Amino acid sequence: MDLSPTHLHLLLNHFPTIGFVIGLTLYVAALYANSDHLKQAALVIFVGVAIITIPTYASGNAAETAICVSDLDRPCADPAVSRPLIEEHEGAAFASLALMFVTGGFAWLGLYQYRRLLRLPRWNAVLILILALVTFAAVSRAANLGGEIRHPEIRVTQVTADAGRPLARVVGNFVRDWPPAWIIGETLHFVGLSLLIGVLLVINLRTLGVIQTVPFGALDRLLPWAVLGFGLNAVTGMLFFAAAYGQYVKGYAWYCKLAFIVIAGFNTLYFFFDKGWAVEPGQPARLTSRVVAFSALFFWVGVMYWGSMLPFLGNAF
Amino acid sequence: MHLALTVVAIVIAVTVAMGIVGVLIDRSTERHVNTPRNSGGTSQGDRQ
């Protein structure tokens, strides 16, 4: 089977909508039943869906280049395919991706609060509910617009010539055309990278048996910095992508990087449920924890490797 | 020169904003800590 980026997008684009329906239903049920276990399960789903949304969004632009063969800013070669409608879908997807990052971020904070405070503060429980509802509405709109691209029988959206440019093109073209934008983005991308890798390196090396005298409780306090670094990288990375997606989707290094980000993200999520945090100072972590820590290092270093190799592997740049 | 100053100003602004968020998260999750079946830590909170 020849798996193309278009296949990938068709496969992944169900996760944000269906995943969010499941997460939201579970979360509302958890609030109603006041069940901490259900709340944590729903928060994991929110974070997981947010991670999967990154390749979902990125593969969308790859699918665009496959079905709309023409220069950018020109109509598609196939008259049955509407570039304005694709860009409308892209704009809606960009907005839902941004909302997904915010919802996923607060959901992660909720999981962290569960471990640190043993409860989810009311303010965050309410905020997550509101964000999840808004995100679900945005994702549903993006999904509906996406369906209209290839299904004229359900098409109701009319993109008029005088309509403003969709959000993703406004932001992407701004990053592309304003000279400082790329430099600022690159600098912040490295700040985020340093935070993320620095913290995860210390935590995973401790799990593997280095610096055993340092208690896990102390390292646990560093985790939010790693997540802030990841958030900064996710935002700046998607800004680069929106500005020049035509370059990224041509090289296989980009898809490898996305795959490694997803695996590494889920890997990091595992530690919320790992008993390794109960290990006393001076004691080695369990074998399972060490295996996961080793794989975490492998995949995060892999993310850096594929990111560095973007200009050199394939014909991306 | 203008380009360099713009870059530095925005990078510092974003980094400081992120630092404030990080400190707020740390403070808000430090005091009542009952961490990870916690076995010690660096702060008073972590030793509770």
pLDDT of residue A228: 95
Look up residue A79 and give its DSSP letter: T
Å from A225 to nearest chain B CA? 6
Q: What is the mean pLDDT of residues A2-16?
A: 83
Which residue, A172, A204, A238, sits at the end of a domain? A172
User: Does A212 score more than 90 pLDDT?
Assistant: no
Look up residue A154 and give its DSSP letter: G
User: Does A136 score more than 80 pLDDT?
Assistant: yes
Q: A219-223, B20-24, B37-41: which has the minimum mean pLDDT? A: B37-41
Question: Of the candidates A116, A191, A221, which has its C-beta nearest B15's C-beta?
Answer: A191
Yes or no: say if A309 and A253 are a contact pair by the CB < 8 Å rule.
yes
Q: Do A109 and B25 touch (CB under 8 A)?
A: yes
Are A108 and A123 found together in one domain? yes
pLDDT of residue A161: 59
φ/ψ of A235, rounded to 5, equals -65, -50
Its ipTM equals 0.80
H helix intervals, chain B: 2-28, 44-47
Q: Who's near A209: CB < 8 A, 6+ residues apart?
A: A284, A285, A290
Q: How many domains does chain A have?
A: 2
pLDDT of residue A198: 94
User: Does B33 score more than 80 pLDDT?
Assistant: no
Alpha carbon separation from A35 to A24, A29, A68 (Å, rounded): 14, 8, 48
Q: What is the mean pLDDT of residues A131-158?
A: 84
If residue A50 lies in a helix (H) or strand (E), which one and from where to where?
helix A36-67
Å from A26 to nearest chain B CA? 25
Which residue, A172, A190, A212, sits at the end of a domain? A172
Highest averaged pLDDT of the listed ranges A53-67, A101-115, A148-162, A271-285: A101-115
Are A90 and A211 found together in one domain? no
Are A15 and A29 found together in one domain? yes
Q: Do A220 and B36 touch (CB under 8 A)?
A: yes
Are A116 and A186 found together in one domain? no
Percent of chain A predicted with pLDDT > 90 = 48
Question: Of the candidates B3, B10, B35, which has its C-beta nearest A217's C-beta?
Answer: B35
pLDDT tens profile A46-77: 999 999 999 999 988 888 887 777 776 677 77
* Residues of chain B found within 8 Å of residue A232, distances taken between Cβ atoms: 14, 18
The range of the structural domain enclosing residue A245 comes to 178-317
Yes or no: say if A97 and A238 are a contact pair by the CB < 8 Å rule.
yes
User: Does A1 score more than 70 pLDDT?
Assistant: no
Are A116 and A185 found together in one domain? no
> What is the residue type of B12?
I
Q: A231-235, A251-255, B27-31: which has the minimum mean pLDDT? A: B27-31
Q: What is the mean pLDDT of residues A111-138?
A: 94
Alpha carbon separation from A168 to A84, A164, A176, A240, A256 (Å, rounded): 12, 11, 12, 11, 23
Are A30 and A156 found together in one domain? yes
Alpha carbon separation from A27 to A13, A37, A263, A272 (Å, rounded): 22, 10, 24, 18
Are A128 and A233 found together in one domain? no
Task: Please state the pTM of the whole predicted model.
Answer: 0.88
* Residues of chain B found within 8 Å of residue A215, distances taken between Cβ atoms: 38-41
Grade residue B41 by pLDDT with cuts at 50, 70 and 90: very low
Whole-angstrom Cα Rg for chain B: 17
Query: What's the CA gap between B23 and A206, in Å, rounded?
Result: 23
Are A197 and A300 found together in one domain? yes
User: Does B42 score more than 50 pLDDT?
Assistant: no
H helix intervals, A118-222: 122-150, 167-177, 179-208, 216-220
Assigned token pair, A298: 């492998």
Q: Do A115 and B21 touch (CB under 8 A)?
A: no
Average of per-residue pLDDT values in chain A: 87
Are A62 and A156 found together in one domain? yes
User: Does A33 score more than 80 pLDDT?
Assistant: yes
Query: What's the CA gap between A17 and A9, in Å, rounded?
Result: 13
Grade residue B39 by pLDDT with cuts at 50, 70 and 90: very low
> What is the residue type of A36?
D
Name the 3-class secondary structure at B34.
coil
Q: Do A116 and B40 touch (CB under 8 A)?
A: no
Percent of chain A predicted with pLDDT > 70 = 93
Query: What's the CA gap between A200 and A219, in Å, rounded?
Result: 9
Query: What's the CA gap between A105 and A126, in Å, rounded?
Result: 14
Are A163 and A215 found together in one domain? no
Q: Do B41 and A218 touch (CB under 8 A)?
A: yes
User: Does B47 score more than 70 pLDDT?
Assistant: no
Are A20 and A152 found together in one domain? yes
* Residues of chain B found within 8 Å of residue A273, distances taken between Cβ atoms: none
* Angle, CA of B31, B36 and B39, to the nearest 5°: 85
User: Does B37 score more than 50 pLDDT?
Assistant: no
Query: What's the CA gap between A9 and A6, in Å, rounded?
Result: 5
pLDDT of residue A98: 95
DSSP string, A96-124: HHHHHHHHHHHHHHHHHHHHHHSS--HHH
pLDDT of residue A276: 67
Which residue, A110, A137, A172, sits at the end of a domain? A172
Are A246 and A291 found together in one domain? yes
pLDDT tens profile A81-105: 778 888 888 889 999 999 999 999 9
